Amino acid sequence: MTKAILTGLLIVILHTGCMGGNLPDSSPHPVGEVKERPEASASAGHTEHNIVVPLKPLGAAGEVASYYNRHLVISEGRVYGWTGDNKPQLLLEDAVQVGVGDATSYALSRDGRLLAWSEDPKAAVAIAGSIVSFAAGRTGVFAIDQGGTLFRWESPDQSAKKIADNVAYSSIGDGTDYYITQQGELYAFGRNHRGQYGNGGLKESDEFIQVASDVVQVKGHTGHAIVLKRNGDVQGSGGNLYGPLSTHGLGDKAVTWGTLFQGASLIATGSSHTVAVKEDRTLWIWGGKEGTTPRHVLDDVVATAAGVDVTIAKKQDGSIYFWRTGEVPVKLL
> Could you read off the pLDDT of 150-207 as tens digits, one per residue?
999 999 999 999 999 999 999 999 999 999 999 999 999 999 999 999 999 999 999 9
Q: In CATH, what number is assigned to the domain containing residue 121?
A: 2.130.10.30
**What's the order of all strands across the beta sheet hosting 176-181?**
167-172, 176-181, 186-190, 209-212
pLDDT tens track for 312-329: 999 999 999 999 999 999
Question: Lowest-pLDDT range, 1-10, 70-79, 92-101, 148-157?
Answer: 1-10
**What's the order of all strands across the beta sheet hosting 140-145?**
131-137, 140-145, 150-153, 161-164
Q: So what's the pLDDT on residue 57?
A: 86
Q: So what's the pLDDT on residue 50?
A: 52
Res. 26: pLDDT tops 50: no
Question: Lowest-pLDDT range, 17-31, 140-154, 252-266, 311-325?
Answer: 17-31
For residue 156, the number of C-alpha atoms closer than 13 Å in the C-beta half-sphere is: 23
Residue 295 belongs to some domain of the structure? yes
Q: Which has more confidence, 23 or 159?
A: 159
Residue 231 belongs to some domain of the structure? yes
Res. 63: pLDDT tops 60: yes
Q: Which residues pair with 322 in a beta bridge?
A: 312, 330
- Average pLDDT score over residue span 248-261: 98
Q: So what's the pLDDT on residue 31?
A: 34
pLDDT class of 301 with cuts at 50, 70, 90:
very high
Res. 7: pLDDT tops 60: no
- Beta pairing, strands 301-306 & 295-298: unpaired
Q: So what's the pLDDT on residue 54?
A: 74
Residue 35 belongs to some domain of the structure? no
Residue 327 belongs to some domain of the structure? yes
Residue 43 belongs to some domain of the structure? no
Q: So what's the pLDDT on residue 28?
A: 41
**Angstrom distance (rounded) from CA 270 to CA 247:** 16
Residue 229 belongs to some domain of the structure? yes
Q: How many domains would you assign to the chain?
A: 1
Residue 62 belongs to some domain of the structure? yes
Residue 45 belongs to some domain of the structure? no
Residue 106: exposure state from Cβ atoms within 10 A (0-12, 13-18, ≥19): buried
Res. 5: pLDDT tops 70: no
Beta strands, E only, 84-165: 89-92, 95-100, 105-109, 114-117, 125-128, 131-137, 140-145, 150-153, 161-164
pLDDT tens track for 280-299: 999 999 999 999 999 999 99
**Angstrom distance (rounded) from CA 125 to CA 133:** 17
**Angstrom distance (rounded) from CA 105 to CA 266:** 22
Q: Which has more confidence, 3 or 317?
A: 317
Q: Which has more confidence, 16 or 267?
A: 267
pLDDT tens track for 204-244: 999 999 999 999 999 999 999 999 999 999 999 999 999 99
Domain that includes residue 137, residue range: 3-18+54-331
